[in-house]
Amino acid sequence: MKHWILFFAIVFVDFAVAHGGRLNSQGCHNNRKTGGYHCHRGSPSVKPAPKLKSKSSVSYRNCSEARAAGAAPIRRGQPGYGKHLDRDGDGIACE
């Protein structure tokens, strides 16, 4: 019996040391080593926030400039796309 008590004590101590606590109200936290986000209480409704696309450092004043750079046509979401370059609003600039 003493062996079982010792076994369970070691196992549960190992689980307690694995995470230092610091869970949010949903029972989740960010992993400091990998940057991941995970939960311990099984809350299926909690999801990590989607990554936002960074703003492109490429921009063109007009379509002539985009064509001269060899970038035209530019589709929505591609670097250099801007609403001011898409006259008909179809998502394809400088067509």
- Average pLDDT on 5-19 reads 60
At 33 the pLDDT is 77
Q: What is the pLDDT of residue 19?
A: 56
Higher pLDDT, 9 or 22: 22
pLDDT in tens, 67-89: 999 999 999 999 999 999 999 98
Each residue of 41-75: b (16+ CB within 10 Å) or e? eeeeeeeeeeeeeeeeeeebeebeebeeeebbebe
In this prediction, residue 34 carries a pLDDT of 79
Number of H helices, E strands in the chain: 2, 4
Mean pLDDT score, 46-58: 63
Is pLDDT above 70 for 8?
no
Residue with the bigger pLDDT between 30 and 56: it is 30
Residue with tokens 């990554």: 51
Q: Mean pLDDT, the chain, as a whole number?
A: 77
